Chains A and B, each alone.
Chain A
Amino acid sequence: MQTRSATDAAAAGHAPAPRKPLIGRLFDADNPWSVNAGRLGAVLLLFAVWELGAGRLFDIFYFSKPSLIVAHFAKEMVDPGFYNDLWVTGLELVLGYTSGGAAGIALGILLARWRYVARICDPFLLAVNSVPRIAVAPMLIVWFGIGIASKVFLAATLVFFITFFNTLSGIRGVDKALCDVARVQGASEWQIFTKVMLPHASAWILTGLKMSLPFGLVGVILGEFLVSSEGLGFRLNGYATGYNTTGAIAMILIMMFLMMALTAVADRIDARVMRWRPSDREAGGVALKA
């Protein structure tokens, strides 16, 4: 990393000198220590202004403050009701995400393989995709009741379209020359599909699955907002309608951490499965990973 930073800087042409001045080393975009220190500083600054400004610059009633939120976290951690809500939301998310993702991949594969049906379905898919998914949420409650099924279904519809379109593009976008390589070697249509098209589409499918993860949570929380008796969305809604801003903000932060953790897992899986892809370094997008 260190040597690479040095060569990068040299290549960029602004570091012919063997040693940067102190200021330059402190605020070095290529030095992970410096960058992380900056991030920590930004968070601390935000929390300090929030904590000290509460009651002076703005009203605690509306904006709460970090110490109250931390205290609230502690309270939630020992509340069995919280764990039940976390469990319910997690279950809805897992069920909705996996079913929506699986259906999206399956239908994407089917339509990519079966051009006639795909041609028939094209305008309908466009139409269905043009419906704001949120707008059908009340109908889902009518159809599937106020239990977890309606939330699972809402999450699934949001996840479905993203994975579906990605799978379709991934399979349709396969290089014909690669298919010909297998064909000349005597591959059957099925082998061409399993050995060329699917692996080619896997990058697209994984991207679709990664992109749709936050949408799955959106679907679940939204469903819980509408009608429910448990779940993190229900809990958040309860705090918010009771003007408990501390509790509401704590819930939002918990959802944020939940999503960050899931995204991190998805990134790890992606990096693992997609070992064959040229790395970010070669692709030139190293900044975000530093």
Chain B
Amino acid sequence: MTAERRAERASLTLEGVAKRFDGRDRVVSALEATSLTIAAGEFVTLVGPSGCGKSTILNIISGLTAASGGSVLLDGHAITGVNRRVGYITQQDNLFPWRTLRDNVALPLEIAGVDPKERHEKADRWLERVGLGGFGDAYPHELSGGMRQRGSIVRTLIYEPPVILMDEPFGPLDAQTRIVLQDMLLSIWEGARSTIVFVTHDLTEAIALADRVLLMSARPGRIVRSDRVNIPRPRDIFQIHENPEFRRLYNEIWNELRLQVRDANALSH
């Protein structure tokens, strides 16, 4: 991890968090009252059919969306609104097109008032770590999708929020780039051990990365299953599909997920 100091750690608790949307003639429940505790330094993945409220949970934890009920606690303290201790990496890289990659990555430090020299040096170190050394002066439109997403991830890692939310960050990437970035993410995380809530619809990714896989039901979303992944770390992400524990878990969760996906599709037709 960055050698300067030890990263802060924090646990995350959801107490009866729910989300309803008031439609014109009816109330749609996007997320049933959900309670859940994620230990400090735990890597949790959320899988489920599309539209099951996975992203809603992240939006609520980040504070960008207000919950209809319940509360979110960070280290036991309720948080309201956005909180700098919770980082958020989305599917879209959302790099600012008018900033160079270096200035994009340094943005959170700039917001915090870190002086230019220090934040640029730190940004360069992080870019180096994820194989983007030498691209600091490039503008986002000059980079590939995988490079931009790496930039987006590093932009959050650089300010070391104790909790990091990731919403299908590798979704738009091709299979090979995905696995390279998964490997990169794990090796960084294994040093830093921030608390991560990672949303994906890819079960392989969910098991390969996580300490614990949470399965969500079709809408209205609710957590129907929680599985601990007892595969030792550091993991070889490139070979993990051969691991017997991985295959056992995959089959078990898939049998359940399959039903949810079918339900979700039945609902939408």
Q: Do A and B come from one complex?
A: yes
Task: Name A residues whose Cβ lies closer than 8 Å to a Cβ of B.
Answer: 175, 177-178, 180-187, 191, 195-196, 199-200, 202-203, 275-278, 282
A186→B111 contact, CB < 8 A? yes
| Stretch from B2-10, B27-35, B87-95, B126-134 forming part of the interface with A | B87-95
User: Across the A-B interface, how many residue pairs have beta carbons closer than 8 Å?
Assistant: 60
A183→B82 contact, CB < 8 A? yes
- Residues of A close to B107: CB separation below 8 A: 181-182, 185, 195
- Residues of A close to B88: CB separation below 8 A: 180, 184
- Residues of A close to B63: CB separation below 8 A: 184
A187→B64 contact, CB < 8 A? no
B94→A177 contact, CB < 8 A? yes
Within 8 Å of chain A (Cβ to Cβ): is B97? yes
**Closest beta carbon of chain B to A201's beta carbon, Å:** 10
Contact of A276 among B84, B97, B110 (CB under 8 A): B97
**Closest beta carbon of chain A to B138's beta carbon, Å:** 10
Within 8 Å of chain A (Cβ to Cβ): is B135? no
A180's nearest neighbour on chain B, judged by CB, is: B64
Q: What is the size, in residues, of chain B's interface with A at 8 Å between Cβ atoms?
A: 26
Given contacts A177-B90, A282-B141, 6 further A-B contacts (CB under 8 A): A180-B88, A181-B155, A184-B86, A184-B87, A185-B107, A276-B140
- Residues of B close to A277: CB separation below 8 A: 97, 141
- Residues of A close to B217: CB separation below 8 A: none
Contact mask for chain B residues 90-133; partner A; CB cutoff 8 A; 1 contact, 0 none: 10101011111000000110111000000000000000000000
Contact of B98 among A182, A185, A186, A200 (CB under 8 A): A200
B141→A278 contact, CB < 8 A? yes
A282's nearest neighbour on chain B, judged by CB, is: B141
Task: Name B residues whose Cβ lies closer than 8 Å to a Cβ of A.
Answer: 62-64, 82, 84, 86-88, 90, 92, 94, 96-100, 107-108, 110-112, 139-141, 155, 159
- Residues of B close to A181: CB separation below 8 A: 94, 96, 107, 155
**Closest beta carbon of chain A to B150's beta carbon, Å:** 16
**Closest beta carbon of chain A to B133's beta carbon, Å:** 21
B86's nearest neighbour on chain A, judged by CB, is: A184
The CA-CA distance from A184 to B63 in the complex, in Å, is 8
**Closest beta carbon of chain B to A191's beta carbon, Å:** 6
A178 and B94 contact, Cβ closer than 8 Å, known pairs A276-B139, A276-B141: yes
A186 and B139 contact, Cβ closer than 8 Å, known pairs A178-B96, A180-B64: no
The CA-CA distance from A203 to B98 in the complex, in Å, is 10
The CA-CA distance from A196 to B99 in the complex, in Å, is 10
- Residues of B close to A199: CB separation below 8 A: 96, 98-99
A186→B108 contact, CB < 8 A? yes
- Residues of A close to B64: CB separation below 8 A: 180, 183-184
**Closest beta carbon of chain A to B260's beta carbon, Å:** 28
The CA-CA distance from A276 to B139 in the complex, in Å, is 6
Contact of B159 among A182, A185, A196, A203 (CB under 8 A): A185
- Residues of B close to A187: CB separation below 8 A: 111
B98→A191 contact, CB < 8 A? no
Q: Which of B63, B98, B155 is the most central at the interface, judged by chain A CB atoms within 10 Å of its CB?
A: B98
B84→A275 contact, CB < 8 A? no
**Closest beta carbon of chain B to A196's beta carbon, Å:** 7
B111→A185 contact, CB < 8 A? yes
The CA-CA distance from A275 to B108 in the complex, in Å, is 23
